[in-house]
Structure 1
């Protein structure tokens, strides 16, 4: 009798835990309070506070996602559920509030109340826009080639490109105006870039101060419905559009995302059908591009290129090479090239670190002075005095 009661109690407990876990899994967001800390150095209170807030936000995401995973380990088949969470969780900041600030032993401490969301990032525009601002508000340039099979279908050549730019803007990205792009390149150069000339894409991106270049090809083909449908339905027109797109880091010429997609359209005439298919294909692929770019920027470390001009000795090279890995927020440093007094590195940084932070701290550590010649979200150019 006692053993039967124990089984009943155990069964009820398992049901309660399982229901609790389901409610956690269904929750779109959770509010947590954390502390963030930063060393109060010579760069002042403002930068220390900023670094402390970013540290608190990072800890909040870890805490929220960690709780989410821990709750799943209490149920049967916990490993399967935990694996699913690890693969699909998209922890991100939906909003935050600084509720206390203090300084102890040269450490700047902030207490923050943070709302951490768990939905797919691209599905929440407010959170997406906030995170885009936090990681430097990158600028995007779009070059898209659109081709419709039927020469007599009268649609704007820039229909798909305009639609893609519109979606990026609505998601919070800065997008470079198409007319500015076309004022610097001709049609042949545009075709060359879309065909895969990444060096030319980087050159154009640099001129327009773009951080990422999106290049895409879209083809729309007519589908004869008469072979499959009869009567009135058979008189409808149908098109299928296929699009492939790549995202290029404008500083390194590296492809950070490559996606494909399609869209279908049916209408009373070819123009209507082709337009519907083009818009659907563009919307589908842009949504995926936004998701890929956003998650890459927010969840992963970012890579910047450092160029140093007027490096006159191997000693200066060695001093730079030894100092870079010691900078705050630097994950990895890759020596790329040294020729004609020009030294190049690729540097992996934590998402919260800004290029300005690197320049300021590097100036403190090096025994020689330099001048900042140019600075962007993905590139820093210095010249030794």
Structure 2
């Protein structure tokens, strides 16, 4: 029989083991609760016998419903209520979840005008940036946007300006950003394509922060998103415990821009430090450290925005020509609001000399929306689609 002292020690060890086991079980349980399997059904309208389009729209609606069923709609803005009636019907709502993967388990043409799809989706409530499978699913739903990166990098001892940009290979910040994004499944436009089309005047404008020039150039080389900004390193001397030590510090400041609309998807700033006897080596390492931090933060913001696009609806810019009168403009806006299924809001940005710029929020990609609206007739005018990018559609009203 064990002595009293040893028995007491044994009981303590046993108790600790039990507590540890319970905690481990709870953690596993919590992790499993972050992931749900949901069956949801969506419906797409069949327009001019275009069943593939109706099927895609039905799948997207089913995926949105799968998130809503899991989490409920989380209203993240204040809702004005008067006499128990919501007076602001255009509140922004979104769901804090994402579809990791899904499969179509049933589909059918319900009638002449509607197509029905039922999916089984795996929905998660954790952060998407740590889930490679979910990122791949989201990228596919966004039609796999292509990225590009141009960063004005100035290491210690380098002269600022575009000359150094053209006389070096891909700099440290660009290389780090690309590698971090590519490791998560993002695709980038080939660097040689960028260099072949980039002259000093364009580079100077982009590196100085000209958003319109950056968006225009990215669009020209086939990128849907451009990441651009600055990375600067400097050397300082710090004193610790009576001894002086040389330290290199860097600041990296970047923003991600949609090339077709010029909208900023997100921006981020981070600092990094790396002590080294060689300023250039230390500056390079400091830029690399800061770039890793910026890449992680910027990626999260981009993914959050894209998840919001597919869950709650994305902004699509409509460039409409031959809108001759104010009455024509108002009739077209009313048609978008009431005649096209899923349009949540219509905002006028410009109208001058027959050319109107509108922004709509719709739970569709731009190409799907273009297929839906092409050929429709509004007050005697036929809508003709003349151009499509990832977030914009060009139209002409033909009378």
Residues 100-128 of structure 1 show CA distances to partners (whole Å, capped at 9, x for unaligned) of 22343444222221111222111112211
Report the secondary structure of 2:143's partner residue: coil
- TM-score normalised to structure 1 length: 0.78
1:98 aligns with 2:104: yes
Residues 133-173 of structure 1 show CA distances to partners (whole Å, capped at 9, x for unaligned) of 10232232322111112349x98662211221232233233
1:224 aligns with 2:237: yes
> Judging changes above 3 Å, is the alpha-carbon distance between structure 1 residues 243 and 364 closer, same or farther for their aligned structure 2 residues?
same
1:286 aligns with 2:295: yes
Distance 2:342 2:190 in 1: 33
Residues 199-256 of structure 1 show CA distances to partners (whole Å, capped at 9, x for unaligned) of 222322332243322221111122435x22688xx77x64221111122232333333
> Judging changes above 3 Å, is the alpha-carbon distance between structure 1 residues 20 and 125 closer, same or farther for their aligned structure 2 residues?
closer
Distance 2:321 2:329 in 1: 11
Report the secondary structure of 1:183's partner residue: helix
1:131-150 → structure 2 map (5 Å cutoff): 131-150=138-157
Aligned to 1:338: 351
Aligned to 1:307: 319
Distance 1:181 1:212 in 2: 13
Q: CA shift at 1:358, angstroms?
A: 2.3
Aligned to 2:195: 182
Distance 1:151 1:307 in 2: 44
Question: Please, which moves more after superposition, 93-102 or 209-218?
Answer: 209-218
Q: CA shift at 1:291, angstroms?
A: 0.8
Aligned to 1:5: none
Distance 1:26 1:144 in 2: 41
> Judging changes above 3 Å, is the alpha-carbon distance between structure 1 residues 67 and 191 closer, same or farther for their aligned structure 2 residues?
closer
Preserved contact between residue 206 and residue 228 of structure 2 (Cα < 8 Å): yes
Aligned to 1:358: 369
Aligned to 2:66: 60
Report the secondary structure of 1:320's partner residue: helix
1:237-248 → structure 2 map (5 Å cutoff): 238-248=247-257
Aligned to 1:30: 36
Runs of 4+ in 1 over 6 A off after TM superposition: 19-22
Preserved contact between residue 45 and residue 54 of structure 2 (Cα < 8 Å): yes
1:51 aligns with 2:57: yes
Structure 2 spans left out of the alignment, 5+ residues: 1-21, 75-94
Name whichever structure is richer in helix by fraction: 1
Q: How many residues align?
A: 341
Match of 1:204 among 210, 214, 217: 217
Distance 1:33 1:21 in 2: 26
Match of 2:258 among 243, 249, 271: 249
